Structure 1
Amino acid sequence: MPLIGHGRYPFSAITQRPDFDWPGGARLAVYLGMNLECFDFGTGLGAELAPGGPQPDVLNYAWRDYGNRVGVWRMLDLFDKLDLPCTALTNSAMYDAAPGVVEAFRTRGDEISGHGRTNSERQGILDEVAEAALIEEATARITLEERCAPKGWLGPWISQSRVTPDLLDEAGYEYLLDWCHDDQPVWMQTRGGRILSVPYPQELNDIPQIVGRKREGADFADMIIDAFDVMLAESAQRPLVMGIALHAYLMGHPHRIKHLDRALSTLKERADGRVWFTTAGAISDHYRSLIL
């Protein structure tokens, strides 16, 4: 029986690809994927601190809401202290649910990317018309607020249907972040052309580690440092992308942000001319400019 494939990209061993550099001769591109998310009250999806009870699930809703009210501001202070840019992966409903949060990242000059309407829903379960409408609605609101269209998209809950890359390409997106299949950007075929897949982490991601695997902030910080050390050494052979996925309702708590501070400060201290601290959009822009 033949293996069912997706038809989006062919197999390619990372050891057998053309070499290139990131801007300034850097070999390791590092970016922070800062998820800016909001949730319906009493319905829909959401990460859980503890097993949820009957709706309205006040415990878990309020725990997540802490991220936008308190945690994100601690994280912004940390990013400012370390002079680190972010890609703000933005639910379009954030402009109404948490006024001032997205604007704070805009003020820093961070990239604002699309991340659906809210994280109470998955787009991949919708039919094509409804999914296209979700993308259109989220894109229109971000474009209105930011006065420019977002270049990149991360599906809420990393959710894609079989036509999501096609719909994103048709909506004008240049890159997507849902596929954690590589440490370099990868071109994906769409029915109208192609779209770039920029690496987005599911290992260096606080939700799978802290919520899923029940690890704590110290362990997560150690993982970030360990990954950086290995990838920086490996980048002598090939250019790499290292993303770090963060959520304010997790890493914005006092007992975790001290460890995030330790990890990111260590990266800055160990960085040299081989490291480019950047955004997912800048990674996409540079890779798209290459002739490989």
Structure 2
Amino acid sequence: MLSTGLLSTLDSEEELTAIMASEVAHFVLDHAIINVNKEVAREKRAAFWGGVVGGVLAAGEEYLMSKSEYYIPGTATAAVALISSAIFDKTSQRLGMTYSRDQEKVADQCAIDFLKMKNMQPSALASGLTKIKNYYEEHRDYYTLSKYGPYAEFDKRIERLGENKECTINHRYNKIMSTVNTFNSILMLNGKRYDDAALLVNKNIKNKVASDDDYVLLAKTNMALYNTEEKNNESLSLILKAKSVTDVPNLNTDKQEILALLRLNKQGKAASSLKEYIDHLSAFLDQTRSADESTWASTELNWANKLLQRISIL
């Protein structure tokens, strides 16, 4: 599985190629088969495969129970790869993915040779691995990373690779992956990991590939963390920036603008934004053929009309 988290952590096709090449080398060299045969030899086959299936099912059920708070009509459902972290602990050994130090050395050397053959920077492997390490350290979860086979003795593995020259940031790569960053930011927001959500959005802004959704997400995380006049004005500025980068109506932008204006006690402007939101919702409801989206739009219309009446009374 190739996780969206990895795609967001790296900054170039060379780094991604290097990481993938090292993992593919394990497959080509039959490391997993060698290791899994050793594991099967130590256990009964029924218990072995029963543990794998049980782990996958348990992780799948946990994921399916989650709910999304941030709704964008048309956003794809979270990929099945999200369950990988839940099954990795108990099943990695059973699937033969706990590689030995010698196996890791051979796979890394294969990756470096492949990079050279493709006229790519050999240092891309060390650069990519360092960014993975830094990600886990920043999230104070380096123990989780370092205790597993493929990532055990991570520092020594990077040191063994030699020169760790960070690869040049690739604009094309970051442009392609900007939607992945946005998607991951939504997941972080749903999990109330607001700082992490903001980091991903700010990466898109820094790389000059941000969309209107990114600015709305940043405003949303800002408002979740703070409720001061200064921060609310900052959030409103982000929302206006979101509206300026596209001519296409964005229902999330409309609603977040309303909430920001209400926080700032600007009822008159909030009423105007509510009327615009109602118009956009009505147009969306006329066009959609999805039962779920129709239900959502009808619920939002009811909320918007009630709020508009309340503001008018005040």
Per the normalisation by structure 1, the TM-score is 0.24
- The structure that is strand-richer by fraction is 1
- The structure that is helix-richer by fraction is 2
Higher-RCO chain (CA-CA 8 Å, sequence separation at least 6): 1
